[in-house]
Amino acid sequence: MFVGLDLGTSGLRALLVDGAGVPLGSAQRAYAPVHPHPGWSEQDPADWVAAVDAALVELAAAHPQAMAQVRGIGVSGHMHGATLLDDSGAVLRPCILWNDTRSAVEAAELDAADGVRALSGNIVFPGFTAPKLLWVARHEPEVFARVTSVLLPAAYMNFHLTGARFADMSDSAGTAWLDVGARDWSARLLEVSGMRVDQMPRLVEGSEAGGTLRPDLAARWGISGEVIVVGGAGDNAASACGVGAMREGTGFVSLGTSGVVLAGRDGYAPLPESAVHTFCHAVPGQWYQMGVILAATDSLNWLSRVTGASPAELSQEVGDTLDGPGDLRFLPYLSGERTPHNDSDIRGGFLNIGVGTERRDMTRAVMEGVAFALRDCAEALKASGARLDRMLAIGGGAQSRYWVELLATVLGVPLALPEKGDFGAALGAARLAMVGAGAGSVDAVMAPPPIRETIAPNTALTADYDAAYASWRQIYPAVRGLT
């Protein structure tokens, strides 16, 4: 038996699977970030520890015989967070999360430094880890002086589980300290942000054992025998493992709170100027690239809040039949944007609202705006050489057939819908534990899920949506800088 832990921004999910990777049970616990100042987003790592303990105690009570046979644990975590430890392993301050923007000035400085993009393969975004530490050095020097280790959220959970400080390549690639091509810490990238290699965790591959579960935790959770804890993965890499998006030509589109277009890569081919993320994958010899928009279903959730209708009600008004683009345009930049603009100041908006505009028109425009923004991501990925042959559609927004067909038509790619079941980051983390424990090879374990349906592009409407996308693309340069 194996356990995958998905350490998310708003909660923890623990998934118990058998030796064939079939889910047997799961448990969830919620927690929330805090925002002590505008643009700040923090979490107390003690909340993660409490959530993991409660979830695994619940699994042990519900599945005692299966839990007794657990032989491997993998952790997936939200990326980029800075958890600072002193020489005793104590947490020095709340973890600064991925969606914290306080270090925008420091990020711009690091991004402009000689060789940084070339070594890291990425723009240094404000959400990355390196600028956070530069901010701490400047604004909390007494804390910075005591830092002996910086751990990402998943790596901190590894530390809690084993007492060892280790992290995987996929998560570490989002720090701006890793030479992503060489899969190793970069002395230059560390130096430019005032850090040292001895402050970094030991690097392992995501499917490689990093330590063993503490005996006291094993006893508490009803586990007998030695349990390995593998490197694990950043959340998107873990999701890719969960759906089998490992190699060239495989990938997925995620319509979640944020939106992601991810492509597996057989080699290292960065294109940082496009704001595409180029990261190590969670298994040896593989990389992945992704374009990210910050508000996908979050855009529909926003419209729900201001109209008083639930997201499901809004989707029902649009229906299931794709009938071409509307005249109303929507920019989904409610919290700024990453790919391809790297613009934390831009905000969203509607264009062409008229006296006859109805709520249904606004919903359709929101869905189209998100689809067009995801096409921006796909075009940036293609510019780096990535292939988007056939992709999975995952995330809450994929429950809308209209939205999936719209997205397939805008991207010009068939989108496969998996059968209902567990195939996300928690499953990916469990699969990494399976490989690390010798339960199978990467190719055998990281298989794609069964497909319920594949939705093809509506070719009769392709030209219309291409024209609408070209029109939509003119809005950003026209409004950039306006307030």
pLDDT, tens digit (0-9, with 9 covering 90-100), for 349-399: 999 999 999 999 999 999 999 999 999 999 999 999 998 888 999 988 999
Task: Extract the runs of DSSP E, i.e. beta strands, from 247-374.
Answer: 251-255, 259-265, 277-280, 287-293, 329-331, 349-351
Whether the CB-CB separation of 123 and 272 falls below 8 Å is answered with yes
Question: For strand 72-77 and strand 228-230, is the pairing parallel, antiparallel, or unpaired?
Answer: parallel
Chain CA centroid to CA 306, Å: 27
Backbone φ, ψ for residue 129 (5° rounding): -80, -40
CA atoms in the 13 A half-sphere facing the CB of 292: 25
Query: Is the Cα dihedral 171, 241, 6, 225 positive or negative?
Result: negative
Give the pLDDT confidence score for residue 256 in this predicted structure: 85
**Nearest residue to 290 (alpha-carbon basis) of 331, 245, 244, 230:** 245
Give the pLDDT confidence score for residue 146 in this predicted structure: 98
Vertex 126, ends 289 and 40: CA angle to 5°?
125
Vertex 110, ends 153 and 481: CA angle to 5°?
100
Question: For strand 149-151 and strand 277-280, is the pairing parallel, antiparallel, or unpaired?
Answer: unpaired
Bridge partners (DSSP) listed for residue 205: none
Give the pLDDT confidence score for residue 237 in this predicted structure: 95
Give the pLDDT confidence score for residue 39 in this predicted structure: 86
Give the pLDDT confidence score for residue 343 in this predicted structure: 86
Is 235 annotated as catalytic? Answer: yes
Contacts of residue 63, Cβ cutoff 8 Å, sequence gap at least 6: 16, 24, 25
Task: Please give the chain's pLDDT, 483 residues, in tens.
Answer: 999 999 998 899 999 999 999 999 999 999 999 999 988 999 999 999 999 999 999 999 999 999 999 999 999 999 999 999 999 999 999 999 998 889 999 999 999 999 999 999 999 988 899 999 999 999 999 999 999 999 999 999 999 999 999 999 999 999 999 999 999 999 999 999 999 999 999 999 999 999 999 999 999 999 999 999 999 999 999 999 999 999 998 999 999 888 999 999 999 999 898 889 999 999 999 999 999 998 999 999 999 999 999 999 999 999 999 999 999 999 999 988 889 998 888 899 999 999 999 999 999 999 999 999 999 999 999 999 998 888 999 988 999 999 999 999 999 999 999 987 666 899 999 999 999 999 999 999 999 988 999 999 999 999 999 999 999 999 999 999 886
Identity at 8, one-letter amino acid code:
G
Cα separation, 483 vs 161, in Å, equals 48
Beta-carbon neighbour count of residue 209 at 10 Å?
18
Look at the block and give the residue holding tokens 């030695």: 226
Give the pLDDT confidence score for residue 306 in this predicted structure: 96
Beta-carbon neighbour count of residue 351 at 10 Å?
16
Tell me which of 6, 100, 171, 235 is the catalytic residue.
235
Cα separation, 28 vs 129, in Å, equals 27
**Nearest residue to 247 (alpha-carbon basis) of 422, 4, 448:** 448
Give the pLDDT confidence score for residue 335 in this predicted structure: 83
**Nearest residue to 437 (alpha-carbon basis) of 161, 225, 153, 183:** 225
Give the pLDDT confidence score for residue 149 in this predicted structure: 98
Give the pLDDT confidence score for residue 298 in this predicted structure: 92
**Nearest residue to 23 (alpha-carbon basis) of 54, 53, 2:** 2
Identity at 127, one-letter amino acid code:
G
Contacts of residue 460, Cβ cutoff 8 Å, sequence gap at least 6: none
Cα separation, 12 vs 32, in Å, equals 10
Cα separation, 151 vs 144, in Å, equals 14
Give the pLDDT confidence score for residue 483 in this predicted structure: 66
Question: For strand 184-185 and strand 178-179, is the pairing parallel, antiparallel, or unpaired?
Answer: antiparallel
Whether the CB-CB separation of 106 and 135 falls below 8 Å is answered with yes
**Checking phi first, is residue 457 left (phi over 0); if not, alpha (psi -120 to 50) or beta?**
beta
Q: 104-112 and 129-139 helices cross at what angle (nearest 10)? A: 120
Percent of the chain with pLDDT over 90: 88
Cα separation, 19 vs 176, in Å, equals 36
Chain CA centroid to CA 85, Å: 24
Cα separation, 362 vs 352, in Å, equals 11
Query: Over 48-89, what HEC string results?
Result: HHHHHHHHHHHHHHHCHHHHHCCCEEEEEECCCCEEEECCCC
Give the pLDDT confidence score for residue 420 in this predicted structure: 76
Alpha-helix residue ranges (DSSP H) falling in 356-461: 359-383, 401-411, 425-436, 442-445
**Nearest residue to 23 (alpha-carbon basis) of 418, 394, 421, 420:** 421
Cα separation, 207 vs 441, in Å, equals 10
Query: Is the Cα dihedral 217, 223, 227, 233 positive or negative?
Result: negative
Cα separation, 114 vs 188, in Å, equals 10
Give the pLDDT confidence score for residue 422 in this predicted structure: 65
**Checking phi first, is residue 89 left (phi over 0); if not, alpha (psi -120 to 50) or beta?**
left
